[in-house]
Structure 1
């Protein structure tokens, strides 16, 4: 790399991450408009940028959600600078940040072997469903807009489906500009929740967690109630809940691509039956 210029790695700021987001959207990730502002406060020391003569050329995030769990994401290289080792360079600097935490990451199928070199093992696929909405939803009975008074209950439910408690992330996620969160309440108990947000290619849903397929369907209808037929919708859905694919396909979405979820360390024990859509591919 030295003969091509000076390559350095440092922590990224929000302006840097807007550039990284453009790279990700060039790969079809459809990162939401407010995602970077929600992401960086989760672990400000977990976002790394590689620079060639001062210009951003590569990036990766390694976000410590807790003392026990971290997530790799945003492994990206400027399309004009690929093949120069800048991706591996930024990863080498970032890698110590997670310490001995269980770490999760998502690999394209052809990269699973490479990702396995640090001891990570494949566990399941995550499918990116994308499509033009067949019909708009409506706000079903027992579904409410999530407000501050529901935040603790939503965070407790989310913890059943995610390997760390992330109340503050969810607070930002639910209140960011354009984000709308809904919860289903049956007999006084929360049976699921979901969030929809604007993105460059239409709208992106996630998380979407629900006790039953009926709960998931009601929440999907609420999340799409403000849209019209033909609007583009996308969601990243683990293949661990077969009812999820059926629900999305019935609404006009089809598989665009899939990635492989991998873990280094013990695989977290979660309510995979309740997980219809993850919050984001980039931060889990």
Structure 2
């Protein structure tokens, strides 16, 4: 491994990492990297061989006790030579002492288990153009899918006090991530909508452009009716109406809702943790924020 070194990612590296993830078929958001670096500027590592980047990983710290691994990629020409493992160890060392989560693709899950990770649920990507006239979904609220939900107003999330949004997000994520959330909902080219009832937040959704289907995440909601209203409104901002949502299979009502709206499974990754699964509100999680940063 002569000539291999690991250092922090530059802005140019972050663009390269996004391109590598796209080549892996992960369909990252076009501008996600700008929110990612706000979350933890030192949390992205690049392995270089002879000065050229050949591998990457993110090891992002949240709060005092949580971390998340993502973007674990070694370029095809250097795989099987130990460079990826050295980078993995550097990332995990950066998160030493924390509960660590990741979303593992199927072919890597056995390796993650060997490193002490345990599966909590699968995040299954559903893609398609949501159909507003979809039939009622078993187990969901009665009535056809609609762009409205009774008693709920869908508003621009930027008009909601940010402290309320951050507190709402904490129901679904194990640690504070206010700076990341502010960037995530406010970056140009994306749309963030909140569902509000009597001044209380009952849903939040963000759609962002990607090289493939526009990604929706997070998608939080108090009920299937609110989730469908948010998703249908967000889909209006997709260039071709096609969206992709990563849905926890531990929330069967969410899976049933998306199937009823005409979205089909295309990809899955296991949400895994090194310790006790954190206490988050899975019953309100209709789509996770990001497979790369949780």
TM-score (norm 2): 0.89
| 1:72 equivalent in structure 2 | 69
1:238 and 2:248 matched: yes
**1:73 to partner: Cα distance:** 0.4
| 2:287 equivalent in structure 1 | 277
1:25 and 2:17 matched: no
1:118-160 deviations in whole A, cap 9, x for unaligned? 3221111111112345469985361111115432111111100
Matching of residues 1-284 of structure 1 within 5 Å: 1-2=1-2, 6-134=3-131, 140=148, 142-147=153-158, 149-227=160-238, 230-284=240-294
Matched-pair contact (CA < 8 Å) for 2:196–2:202: yes
Matched-pair contact (CA < 8 Å) for 1:138–1:224: no
- CA distance in 1 between counterparts of 2:35 and 2:50 reads 29
Structure 2: state its 5+ residue gaps: 134-144
- CA distance in 2 between counterparts of 1:28 and 1:251 reads 24
User: Structure 1 stretch 209-218 or stretch 123-132: which is displaced more?
Assistant: 123-132
**Residues matched between the structures, number:** 280
Matched-pair contact (CA < 8 Å) for 1:107–1:259: yes
**1:167 to partner: Cα distance:** 1.5
1:118/1:53 CA distance change after superposition, 3 Å: same
- CA distance in 1 between counterparts of 2:235 and 2:18 reads 25
- CA distance in 1 between counterparts of 2:25 and 2:261 reads 20
Matched-pair contact (CA < 8 Å) for 1:138–1:222: no
Structure 1: state its 5+ residue gaps: none
**1:245 to partner: Cα distance:** 1.8
- CA distance in 2 between counterparts of 1:30 and 1:232 reads 13
